[in-house]
Amino acid sequence: MKNRTEESSVCKNIIFMRHGRIEFSYHSVKVFITIHMFLNFYKYNLGMEKFFGNTMIYKIFSRLINYFRKKLYMAIDSNSDYTDFSYQQFMAFLLNEVDPPLSTKHNGIKLQGIPKQIDVIYHSPAKRSIQTAALIQERLARMGHKRPRVSSDLQKVLAEVQFSKEVLSEKEFKKNGGLRGCRAIILRKWYDGKNIETFQDSIERVEKLCNFLKNSDDENILLITHGWYIRLLFMYFKNEKKDFVNLTSKDGMFKYGQGFWIRLTNSFSPDPSFIGNMNCEAVARPESESTSKDDNIREQHLTPA
């Protein structure tokens, strides 16, 4: 039986990652979506591919389809993040009214920053998160590394934050120039409890996740989640108390297919002042832990090559 010292010294490699880029038809401007849908409908549903595959008309349409697909993929490769969306389009995503798939190309998922010996991959209930987990599993296996298992056991605690429509009005959206100017507004209202899922509700989810990870028999764990929720995970596991809204400046770390990793011990607890700020009971950290923070938790950006 392990003694207390042995238990506290057990380290887990935990990788938090945002899902990959979504399918372009959900991400690009309206004119590209319209053209893409029209051409594909004409190609597949009107039988052009079957009956006119060798005709000049089909070749012209095929070239048009490929041309606009390249334009769409170029839009994906930009650093924008929902920035082309109107208020209605953005709110559909924020309120989880749509569940788009992972992009089949240019999904932004790189394996350079991920340890190759992953035991298990957990994902949220979203289609793009499930597909990201499956894609990473297959890529690792093809590279000759250990094939991790994929599990849905943590879907609830890895789900994106549940937002309410009141968290952002159309007037606020337009006044602040779209999403880029509204991130801080959304984060602040969430933080202040002005949302259907309060910040305290989210903290309780993270606490459940933390306890699960501590008790897991796996040593190398990858978790696929979402952009808003990963900000909270970063603040909690990074173990630094700071103004939550300031995490908008770290958007580069929260882009598609990116995140951070930590080394977690069973004795880890979040900073007492951070918990106290959430009106929770503070958990004192042993002096030996607080003076050697890196022994408990380390963070590394997963930066694409």
What is the pLDDT confidence band of residue 159, given thresholds at 50, 70 and 90? very high
Greater model confidence, 241 or 110 = 110
pLDDT exceeds cutoff 90 at 186: yes
* Res 176: pLDDT: 92
Q: Where are the domains of the chain?
A: 4-24+104-301, 30-77
Instruction: Quote the Cα angle for 73-74-79, to 5°.
Output: 110
What is the pLDDT confidence band of residue 49, given thresholds at 50, 70 and 90? low
Report the distance separating Cα 17 and Cα 230, nearest Å: 8
* Res 303: pLDDT: 37
β-strand pairing of 259-265 with 300-301? antiparallel
Report the distance separating Cα 84 and Cα 187, nearest Å: 20
Taking only the tens place, the pLDDT of each residue in 250-289 is: 656 678 898 888 999 988 888 765 554 443 332 223 223 3
Burial (0-12, 13-18, 19+ Cβ within 10 Å), 283: exposed
Report the distance separating Cα 285 and Cα 265, nearest Å: 13
Asked whether 118 and 220 are in contact (CB, 8 A), the reply is yes
CATH 1.10.10 fits 4-24+104-301, yes or no: no
What is the pLDDT confidence band of residue 233, given thresholds at 50, 70 and 90? very high
Asked whether 108 and 82 are in contact (CB, 8 A), the reply is no
Taking only the tens place, the pLDDT of each residue in 92-124 is: 889 988 888 888 777 888 887 778 889 999 999
Taking only the tens place, the pLDDT of each residue in 242-252 is: 666 666 666 56
Report the distance separating Cα 84 and Cα 27, nearest Å: 8
Greater model confidence, 73 or 224 = 224
Asked whether 232 and 187 are in contact (CB, 8 A), the reply is no
Greater model confidence, 288 or 139 = 139
In terms of Cα–Cα distance, which of 181, 163, 278, 276 is closest to 228? 163
Greater model confidence, 86 or 219 = 219
Could you tell me the pTM of the whole model?
0.73
* Res 63: pLDDT: 79
Q: What is the mean pLDDT of residues 148-162?
A: 97
- Counted residue by residue, the chain has a size of 305
State the angle between helix axes of 179-191 and 199-215 in degrees (0 to 180), rounded to the nearest 10. 80
Average per-residue pLDDT for the chain? 76
In terms of Cα–Cα distance, which of 285, 15, 232, 10 is closest to 136? 15
